[in-house]
Structures are given as C-alpha cells and as structure tokens.
Amino acid sequence: MKILLIYANYKEQSFTSAVRDTIAYTFHQKGHEVVIRDLYEIKFNPVLSKKDLESIEKEIFPVDIMDEQKFIQWADFICFAYPIWWSGMPAILKGYIERVFVQGYGFDFVDGEIIPKLKNKRIAIFNTTGLNNIYKDQASLDALNKMTEECILGFSGMKTVVHKYFKSVRKASSKEKIKSLEEVKNAAEELLEML
C-alpha cells in the first residue's frame, strides 16, 4: 500500500515530529511504501495568489500544485500530522489545502451543487496541542472535528477514518510521551487492518 504523510510543523525536534516518524516507521515495517511531504522542509508556498487563480481558471495548474496533486493521486491512504494552532491547522497546511485541493481537482460545481472529486481517499489525522485545557469540553472538540473532517478535508470527499489528539505535549514527561507514541503505533497498526 502507498501511504502519503503530510506533515506541518516547523520544529524538527518536537513531539509532533516523533508522531510523524512513528507513523512512517510503523507503516514501513509492515511493508508499505511511505512518502513524507514535510511542508516546511519543502518550503511549500501556502499563498493561493491572484496569479494562481487566474491560471487555474484557464485550466493551467502551477507546477508546484501539480506536483502535490500527483502525490495525492499516488496515495492509497493519506495521514496528516500537525499541531493545533489558533483552533485549527497551521497556516502552511491550510494554504496547502487551498492550493492543492482547488476547484477542478478536489471538487467542482455543477448546476450550483458541489461535486467532491476525491471520494476514494481515506485519511487519518494526528494532532498535538501544547496545553491540556484546550478543547476540554466535548462541544468545542466536536466543533473542531466537524470543521476539520467535514468542512475542510471532507469538502473534496475525503473520509476521515481516525482522528487522534495528543494534549499537553510540551509538559509531558518522557514516560507519558512514550505511552502516547505507543498509542500512535497502535493506531497506525489498526489503520492497516481497516484498509
């Protein structure tokens, strides 16, 4: 199976990077092909510019967008790993979604109706937070899940099959981090059983 892992965190030595590495290692050890797209490492431009939009309206996609779309098409399964910032994903990832899953690729409009074009793509989301009291009530967490899983990633038809949160990672002890990474590993293994 071909696994695409989209990673968005500028800190290389972070718990989120350990989550990324655990996911990739688990899939790789089970014999699956893994490609990591580290958005900071590849210096992805997250700005959907006027020039981009004018070009796309003429059905001419910028090369960097087409490159990422090829990875999406290649993948049998997609994982996202990123920290929660300002009640959502980092701007570089939001910009990635706006530019890569653009109209004509991720969705279309037909007679005023949205037509998702990536219904065959299943995804998993792994989030970290710096504090424990973020989204401690279920209503806030439900709102974040709905926005991320349905309104953003689901807009193009992608289906979230797993969404994991790892809270207060900045203050976590080594023992707590090891336990959380074991949970990541188990989630990755369970994903393989689902697919």
- pLDDT tens-digit readout, 142-173: 888 999 999 999 999 999 999 998 876 666 77
Check: CB of residue 49 under 8 Å from CB of residue 98. Answer: no
- pLDDT tens-digit readout, 57-80: 898 899 999 999 999 999 999 999
Whichever domain contains 113, its CATH number is 3.40.50.360
pTM (two decimals): 0.92
Domain coverage including residue 150: 2-194
Task: Write the single-letter amino acid at 184.
Answer: V
Which residues are within 8 A (CB) of 66 and not within 5 positions of it... i.e. 6 or more apart?
A: none
Number of independent structural domains in the chain: 1
Phi-psi region of 47 (alpha: psi -120 to 50; beta: other; left: phi over 0): beta
Task: Write the single-letter amino acid at 102.
Answer: V
What CA–CA distance (Å, rounded) separates 125 from 26? Answer: 15
Say whether 76 sits in a helix, a strand or coil.
Answer: coil
